[in-house]
């Protein structure tokens, strides 16, 4: 058996940080996530993180009345992810973790610039790396950024940490008979009524055989259970199609 450490990219949506408020950053949630990540590091797992920006601003909404251009709105969205990343860095340091933020847009006063070789060195040294500012390009999402970074750092999997415990055929909050898929193919994950992530991210994951895991981030030690191979409380998108 290989004793190579597992390397995982965890993607949190910006909205998840907002908690009940629906906007801004809830430090109680931040601390909960920081402790979950700490547990992973203590189990010798190398962790990269991407956080969305939806709790602050999204390009599409910023541009909806035509005053702000979509591309500018997207840059505003990317800056939101930097705000969230700095908050997460603080929370992780608060629980004793060693963290680096690497931004896709150069911002040297507050973060390193993304350099994949440097990111890998940090991970090898047991540091958590938070990848901020998405891909650095408008018209993309942080799901795509997370998939891209996961592939670049040779992660074993990407975990999309959400408010639900997996992928359903219908919204489980609205339909009590919604069916959960434990395993899905990449093609199924692209299906319009499922939409695990946007098509660009899934296509990238598929081309590079990167497994995508969708799970509930609010269940204590769930991330650890999943990374250690207990897939009951999540859905996996990968090459096999035994639903
Ligand atoms: N964004 C972008 N390029 C990227 C990643 C993000 O332009 O590579 C912008 C886009 O406007 C997006 C916003 O940043 O709406 C926030 O990201 P996202 O909507 O993915 O955040 P989440 O829904 O995960 O909170």
Quick: pLDDT tens for 120-158. 999 999 999 999 999 999 999 999 999 999 999 999 999
pTM of the model: 0.96
Q: Which of 4, 89, 87, 32 is nearest to 222 (CA)?
A: 32
Q: How confident is the model at residue 192 (pLDDT cuts 50, 70, 90)?
A: confident
Q: How confident is the model at residue 243 (pLDDT cuts 50, 70, 90)?
A: very low
Q: Which of 147, 100, 101 is nearest to 126 (CA)?
A: 100
CATH 3.40.50.300 fits 7-238, yes or no: no
H or E stretch covering 9: strand 7-12
Q: Which of 50, 30, 224 is nearest to 145 (CA)?
A: 50
Average pLDDT over residues 201-225: 96
Residues in the chain: 243
126 three-class SS: coil
Measured in angstroms, how far is the CA atom of residue 243 from the centroid of ligand 1? Answer: 30
**Alpha-carbon radius of gyration of the chain:** 17
Residues 6+ apart with CB under 8 A from 139: 59, 70, 71, 74
- What b-and-e string marks burial along 221-231, b requiring 16 or more CB atoms within 10 Å of the CB? ebbbbbbeeee
Structure tokens that stand for 13 in this block: 């949506």
Structure tokens that stand for 22 in this block: 């629906």
154 three-class SS: coil
Asked if residue 241 has pLDDT above 70, the reply is no
Q: How confident is the model at residue 4 (pLDDT cuts 50, 70, 90)?
A: confident
| Candidate from 59, 71, 105 with most ligand 1 atoms within 8 A of CB, to mutate | 59
Count of CA atoms in the C-beta half-sphere (13 A) of 212: 33
- Angle 142-152/199-207 helices, nearest 10 degrees? 10
Distance in angstroms (rounded) separating the CA atoms of residues 78 and 155: 23
Q: Which of 106, 160, 100 is nearest to 136 (CA)?
A: 106
Who lines ligand 1 at CB under 6 A? 13-15, 52-54, 58-59, 73-74, 77-78, 80-81, 134-135, 137-138, 140-143, 145
* Per-residue pLDDT tens digits for 42-63: 999 999 999 999 999 999 999 9
Ligand 1 atom nearest residue 58's Cα: 15
Q: Tell me what the pLDDT averaged over the chain comes to.
A: 95
User: From atom 6 of ligand 1, which residue's Cα is the shortest distance away?
Assistant: 141
| DSSP code, position 191 | S
Distance in angstroms (rounded) separating the CA atoms of residues 155 and 48: 9
């Amino acid at each position: 058996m290989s004793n190579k450490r597992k390397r995982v990219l965890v993607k949190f949506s910006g909205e998840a940080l907002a908690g009940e408020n629906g906007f801004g950053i809830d430090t109680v949630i931040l601390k909960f996530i920081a402790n979950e990540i700490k547990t992973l590091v203590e189990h010798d797992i190398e962790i990269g993180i991407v956080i969305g920006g939806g709790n602050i601003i999204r390009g599409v909404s910023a541009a909806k009345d035509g005053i702000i251009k979509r591309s500018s709105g997207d840059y505003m969205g990317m800056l939101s992810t930097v705000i969230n990343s700095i908050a997460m860095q603080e929370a992780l340091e608060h629980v004793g973790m060693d963290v680096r933020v690497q931004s896709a847009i150069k911002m040297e006063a507050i973060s390193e610039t993304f350099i994949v070789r440097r990111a890998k060195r940090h991970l090898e040294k047991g540091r958590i790396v938070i990848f901020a500012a998405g891909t650095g390009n408008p018209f993309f999402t942080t799901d795509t950024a997370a998939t891209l970074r996961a592939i670049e750092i040779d992660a074993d999997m990407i975990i999309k940490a959400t408010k639900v415990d997996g992928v359903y055929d219908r919204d489980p909050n609205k339909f009590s008979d919604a069916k959960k898929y434990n395993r899905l193919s990449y093609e199924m994950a692209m299906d319009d009524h499922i939409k695990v992530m946007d098509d660009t991210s899934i296509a990238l994951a598929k081309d590079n055989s990167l497994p995508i895991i969708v799970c509930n981030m609010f269940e204590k030690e769930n991330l650890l259970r999943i990374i250690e191979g207990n897939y009951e409380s999540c859905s996996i998108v990968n090459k096999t199609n035994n639903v």
